[in-house]
């Protein structure tokens, strides 16, 4: 039986989880091979599974992972349904992904288990380094089945952000024992969360997965206040924290106090948004600092402040093992080195209402003309919000879906202004965008951090670099700086 790593073995580097598919199994495995924590993104893995299988599964990697799934009949059913030898034709559409709902019998739940198993299994294959998976608290319908799939594959760490992950430690304990769990799902219009049950036995169908290990849980927070709240009770207390600043890519917490925008239209952050690291250290749990922390000196400063190390995303998003489409990676690097890249912390782009980093690249959703030419479609639905209808049922809506549909479901029209379909855009950014009849492939959206100065040190000529180069460069920060003579 595998055991959880001891405090002495804590990694000094966490490769941040980046969805959709940017921190895929190849990247996480490469980082884990160095002894540091490689993290796969757990967002939209069911869609990625379907589209890779329909693309012919080059290299046979998913088929190899499916062969290891503890319920062979389930894996075979997935292969029969989605695998296409040689891949679908250039003009064919990818199969639709079944949408997750509050219905315990939803077929999407089992597919989510299988997809997360495959991703983590591949990330762990062939080495003994630590592997984690990253989830968003906002994507509540997927979290429990996704986590069970990751635990079946032997995941070492579960990292959860974009909300208050107070229920995650208890769920992780129960799932590792294959016990039924009940998760709380927020429903607009209800005073209390909806309780959604999940029984691992419904997936295992009598199969014995062997002994499972409860993964460490790391809560991603922006300030010590949330960390203190989670630390108050054994049921909500994680094993550690990632303290993420607003320079990090993807979603970020809004500034404290009234929302004020700068001349670019980005939220203004102030002293109240700077975490008190001494207060974090006083909690007595390990923590890592994220957001603009890339470089040996930043690592040295973090450890001097009591942190176990740093979490980095952007430097890995632009390396060779990244899942981001090569052409998009190259554009980001070239524009940044030419000092022509703008990365906005757009307060309106995400359907979640959290600020979201968007790189200003042509022919992506950052381009107003490209954005205006895209038909509003919501067919992946990961960021949909459950709400209570007038009839008392639970339905789902997203401010990035067609305006008439959103308003018909009771949504306020003003909430749709500026919203972008991140589900489809991020899927396209890793090369698996849906093909639309008469409209071509969905345009991508590229998210990256706002501090990319590391490129001038690690890749000053714009050439490619790999994970080992990054880890070797950063490790200089583990050596105390010599005092001046």
pLDDT digits 0-9 by tens, 117-134: 999 999 999 999 999 999
Instruction: Let me know: does 136 contact 165? Beta carbons within 8 Å.
Output: no
Q: Helix, strand or coil for residue 113?
A: helix
* Alpha-carbon torsion (433, 434, 438, 444), positive or negative: negative
Is 1 a residue whose pLDDT tops 50?
A: no
Mean pLDDT of 302-310: 95
- In three-state secondary structure terms, 250 is coil
Take residue 128 and report the two structure tokens written for it. Answer: 């003994």
User: For a pLDDT cut of 70, what percent of the chain falls above it?
Assistant: 97
Residue 6 scores a pLDDT above 70: no
pLDDT score recorded for residue 482: 53
The pLDDT value given to residue 3 = 37
CA distances from 193 to 100, 101, 196, 268, 308 (A): 17, 14, 9, 32, 35
Instruction: Give the pLDDT band (50/70/90) at residue 477.
Output: confident
**What tens digit of pLDDT does each residue of 168-184 get?**
999 999 999 999 999 99
Q: What dihedral do alpha carbons 472, 478, 483, 485 form, nearest 10°?
A: -30
Tell me the β-bridge partners of 217: 158
Q: Give the distance, in angstroms, between the CA of residue 22 and the centroid of all CA atoms in the same chain.
A: 9
pLDDT at 396 over 90: yes
Task: State yes or no: pLDDT of 336 exceeds 60.
Answer: yes
Q: Across residues 301-309, what is the average pLDDT?
A: 95
- Whether residue 69 is predicted with pLDDT greater than 60 in this model: the reply is yes
Per-residue pLDDT at 9 exceeds 90: no
Q: Could you tell me the CA-to-CA distances from 332 to 245, 246, 340, 361, 446 in Å, in that order?
A: 21, 19, 9, 8, 9
Tell me: pLDDT of 4 over 60.
no
Q: Considering the chain, what is the average pLDDT of its residues?
A: 93
The pairing of beta strand 38-41 with beta strand 131-136: parallel
pLDDT digits (tens, 9 = 90+) for 466-476: 999 999 999 99
Work out the pLDDT band at 485, boundaries 50, 70, 90. Answer: very low
2 pLDDT band, cuts 50/70/90, is very low
- 137 Cβ neighbours under 8 A, 6+ residues apart: 143, 160, 161, 162, 163, 164, 165, 168
């Amino acid at each position: 039986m595998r055991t959880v790593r001891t405090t002495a073995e804590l990694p000094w580097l966490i490769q941040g989880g980046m969805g959709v598919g940017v921190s895929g199994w190849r990247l996480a495995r490469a980082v884990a091979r160095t002894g540091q924590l490689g993290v796969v993104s757990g967002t939209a893995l069911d869609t990625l599974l379907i589209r890779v299988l329909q693309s012919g599964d080059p290299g046979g990697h998913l088929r190899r992972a499916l062969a290891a799934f503890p319920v062979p009949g389930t894996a075979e059913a997935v292969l029969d349904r989605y695998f296409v030898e040689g891949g679908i034709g250039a003009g064919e559409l990818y199969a639709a992904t079944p949408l997750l709902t509050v219905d315990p019998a939803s077929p999407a739940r089992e597919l989510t288990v299988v997809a997360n198993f495959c991703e983590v299994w591949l990330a762990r294959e062939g080495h003994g380094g630590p592997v984690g998976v990253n989830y968003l608290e906002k994507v509540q319908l997927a979290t429990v089945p996704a986590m069970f799939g990751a635990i079946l594959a032997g995941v070492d760490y579960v990292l959860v952000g974009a909300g208050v992950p107070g229920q995650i430690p208890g769920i992780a304990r129960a799932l590792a024992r294959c016990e039924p769990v009940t998760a709380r799902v927020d429903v607009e219009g209800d005073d209390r969360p909806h309780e959604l049950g999940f029984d691992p036995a419904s997936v295992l169908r009598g199969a014995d997965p062997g002994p499972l290990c409860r993964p460490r849980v790391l809560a991603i927070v922006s300030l010590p206040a949330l960390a203190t709240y989670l630390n108050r009770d054994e049921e909500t207390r994680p094993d550690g924290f990632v303290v993420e600043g607003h320079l990090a890519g993807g979603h970020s917490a809004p500034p404290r106090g009234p929302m004020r925008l700068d001349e670019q239209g980005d939220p203004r952050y102030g002293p109240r948004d700077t975490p008190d690291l001494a207060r974090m250290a006083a909690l007595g749990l390990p923590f890592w600092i994220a957001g603009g922390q890339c470089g040996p000196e930043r690592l040295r400063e973090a450890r001097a402040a009591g942190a176990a190390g740093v979490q980095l995303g952007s430097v890995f998003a632009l390396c060779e093992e990244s899942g981001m489409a090569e052409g998009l990676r190259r554009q980001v690097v070239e524009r940044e080195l030419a000092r022509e890249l703008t990365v906005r912390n757009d307060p309106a782009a995400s359907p979640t209402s959290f600020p979201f980093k968007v790189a200003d690249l042509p022919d992506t959703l950052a381009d107003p003309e490209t954005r205006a030419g895209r038909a509003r479609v919501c067919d992946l639905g990961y960021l949909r919000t459950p709400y209570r209808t007038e009839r008392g049922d639970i339905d789902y809506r997203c401010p990035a879906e067609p305006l008439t549909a959103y308003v018909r479901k009771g949504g306020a029209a003003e909430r749709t202004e500026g919203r972008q379909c991140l589900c489809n855009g991020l899927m396209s950014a890793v090369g698996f965008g849906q093909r639309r009849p008469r409209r071509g492939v969905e345009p991508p959206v590229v998210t990256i951090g706002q501090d990319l100065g590391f490129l001038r040190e690690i890749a000053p000529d714009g050439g490619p670099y790999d994970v080992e180069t990054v880890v070797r460069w950063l490790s200089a920060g583990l050596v105390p700086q010599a005092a001046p003579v």
